[in-house]
Amino acid sequence: MTTSLKKSLIEKACESLGIIETIEPNLGDLHVSEGDFSKYPPPEQWHDWTEYDAGAWPRREKKNYSIVPTTCFNCESACGMLAYVDKESGNVRKFEGNPHHPASRGRTCAKGPATINQINDEERILYPLKRKGKRGAGQWEQVPWKVALDDIAGRIHNSLKAKRHNSVVYHVGRPGHEGYAERVIQAWGVDGHNSHTNICSAGARIGYALWHFFDRPSPDHANAKAILLISSHLETGHYFNPHAQRIIEGMMNGAKLIVMDPRLSNTASMADIWLPTYPGSEAAVLLAMAKIILDKGQYDRQFMETWVNWHDYLQKVHPGDAVTFDNFINRIKEEYAEFTPQFAAQEAGVEVEKIVESARHISEAGTRLATHNWRSAGSGNLGGWQVARCLHFLNVLTGSVGTEGGTSPSGWNKFKPTFFDTPPAQKFWNELQYPMEYPLAHHELSFLLPHFLKDGRGELDVYFTRVFNPVWTYPDGFSWIEALRDESKIKCHVALTPTWNETAYWADYVLPMGHASERHDLNSYETHSAVWIAFRQPVLREYARRDGREVKFTHEVNPGEVWEEDEFWIELSWKIDPDESLGIRDHFKSPYRQGEKINIDEYYQYIFENVPGLPESAQDENLSPLEYMRKYGAF
């Protein structure tokens, strides 16, 4: 049996008018033989895949590709992608999903394929640039990588020799990797890691950390009976595409979806219950649900009696009470007596009935309650950290912590790499990032940095910004401009970025770093109830290797001289310690070639050799672990 393609009325009309060529003679080429359809090219054909070029229609033109797996870098989900390298031109033509990626499973959102627009951006930065005029004047000159490395390394060397360790800072927007930069900075012996987290998700993070140390949730949406989301999760939340797939699976299996969001988002429009709460009222609604569960005795007694520190609570808050679990429950009921559904409804502007119905679904789900809050209410409100605490309280009450269909601590479903070397902890405390007057800060107080510099609390000899644009993203961008243009406060600003941004304009060096298909990274996120790793690799470098061409550094095959942080940090660290007097080089020596500088292949080779189960899977295909990850892109 064959499947033939019949011409539509539009095609027939266009043929008769001469708008398109007749397609009748070639219809035979489009017949599909009996058998299974394939959604994706099979891996054994990835280096020699031929398909019709859709852009050439109505001509029948075939393109021969080498398909290289990598991961997306347009949000933190790191979904798997396949890059199609045109063998004729040697250029990447398109990106599609990688079916071997355990989290995204071959599916991407629009941001994944949009990577092609990023790498072909005519205004991207292609070469290392050094400021030659006044800082911020927009005058630049192209310099070799060696010139930039020598200057920056010399400055850091002098700072470390002078015991000015706190004057070297690396400030990152989106990491996109697992522990790489942190290890580098630790090898330098500086407390120099800064992030954007305090204006992003620190509020939600500390709410979770106070429960169980881990500061992110990992819900098992696919196996849940009730899913409670605080945010427009499917379209904008972490972890967007992988979570969306599994939330839909859970709903198809009968799970009830409850969405708490002031806006009628796409997700809220598909929910069984939409709670359009006033911003800042979420905690009241969550505690009202908790009160209903407590009053009806629908809590998981065994879980709470085992895992909740109720003994400490009674001894410290009610020392006159007998230390029994029943007394604890009675006291907890008193604690939350004021949070009635009626009170919460008035605070939040939602119907009492919806709060009660939501609590019923949550209690009926029992150990299969999947909850999630990331930014949204947890970060956007004063006291938002209590939203995450109250949300996870429902998981504790129902015993749905670490269960199938429940919500686990993030670390349970996240891979932690084994490095070839672990530098000792730094001996310095940088108060520009963790000031003593804020002992409960969760992550660096990065928004205070320009103000601390202005107040004379320190200065920076070398300041790296990596995919980080505080002039635009922070609420007081002009304060950042004031600090960045003051050469007495920030003596050398190095912007590591693929594109121009408002902060890079105030740099002394603008160094082009690769997009998703132009760099190495290791990815692992708590997208579902499993642990996985993915390998972001520079596509054209892997294509060159398949083609038999030797490549020493990634910038040799990327557009212009675009590099990547991984190799950049190795080379920079090696130059910082030319005579090995600082002990830095010891942390960048190959585990396979004694005394020699490690290269990027060896770095990932060591990690992959120490991933449980990966060497065995690779051996089954007569591959090394590194070759396996190059081939499939994920494990």
Total residues belonging to the chain? 635
Q: What is the DSSP letter of 630?
A: H
Determine if the peptide bond prior to 208 is cis (ω within 30°): no
157 and 139 in a common domain: yes
Q: How do beta strands 168-172 and 193-194 pair?
A: parallel
625-632 and 600-609 helices, crossing angle to 10°: 100
Residues 344 and 376 in one domain: yes
Computed over every residue of the chain, the mean pLDDT equals 93
Average pLDDT of the segment spanning 577-594: 98
pLDDT bucket at 31, cuts 50 / 70 / 90: very low
Question: Is 574 among the domain residues?
Answer: no
Q: Are residues 236 and 385 in the same domain?
A: yes
Q: Is residue 116 part of a domain?
A: no
Tokens of 614: 């990966």
Total tally of structural domains belonging to the chain? 3
- Are 337 and 441 in a shared domain? no
Q: What is d(CA 387, CA 279) in angstroms, rounded to the nearest whole number?
A: 11
Mean pLDDT value across residues 555-578? 98
Confidence (pLDDT) at 32: 43
- Asked if the model's pLDDT at residue 469 lies above 80, the reply is yes
Same domain, 333 and 478: no
- The Cβ of residue 393 has, within 10 Å, a number of other Cβ atoms equal to 21
Residue 171 in domain: yes
Q: For the domain that residue 164 is a member of, what is the CATH number?
A: 3.40.50.740
Q: What is the pLDDT of residues 498-547, one digit of tens each?
A: 999 999 999 999 999 999 999 999 999 999 999 999 999 999 999 999 99
The CATH number of the domain holding residue 217 is 3.40.228.10
Assigned domain for 225 exists: yes
Flag whether 33 is in a domain.
yes
Examine the domain organization and report whether 474 and 359 are in the same domain. Answer: no
- Note whether 174 and 247 are same-domain residues: no
The verdict on 301 and 399 lying in the same domain is yes
Rounded to whole angstroms, how far apart are CA atoms 588 and 570?
A: 7
Predicted model pTM: 0.91
Q: What is the arithmetic mean of pLDDT over 451-457? A: 97
Model confidence at 494: pLDDT above 90: yes
Q: Is the peptide bond before 43 cis (omega within 30 degrees of 0)?
A: no
Contact status, residue 610 vs residue 591, Cβ threshold 8 Å: no
Distance of alpha carbon 295 from alpha carbon 278, whole angstroms: 25
Of 357, 385, 410, which closes a domain?
410
Least confident of 347-351, 379-383, 626-630: 379-383
Tokens 């050799």 correspond to 609
**Residue 11 has what pLDDT?**
65
Who contacts 45 (Cβ-Cβ below 8 Å, separation ≥6)?
none
Last residue of a domain, one of 410, 437, 470: 410
Of 497, 514, 531, which residue constitutes the final position of a domain? 514
pLDDT-based confidence at residue 231 (cuts at 50, 70, 90) = confident
Q: Say if residue 241 is in the same domain as residue 259.
A: yes
Q: Is the pLDDT of residue 313 over 90?
A: yes
The predicted structure's pLDDT at residue 432: 96
Residue 321 lies in a domain: yes
d(CA 419, CA 107): 31
In a domain, 70, yes or no: no
Q: Are residues 209 and 172 in the same domain?
A: no
Residue 356 has pLDDT above 60, yes or no: yes
Tokens linked to 394? 């429902």
* Residues 387, 302 within the same domain: yes
Query: Residue 616 and residue 423: Cα distance in Å, rounded?
Result: 29
Residue 570 corresponds to which tokens in the numbers above?
Answer: 């190795």
Q: At residue 8, does pLDDT exceed 80?
A: no
Instruction: Residue 444: give the domain boundaries.
Output: 129-192+426-514
User: What is the number of other CB atoms lying within 10 angstroms of the CB of residue 39?
Assistant: 9
The CA distance from 460 to 155, in Å, is 11
- 575 belongs to a structural domain: no
Residues 348 and 266 in one domain: yes
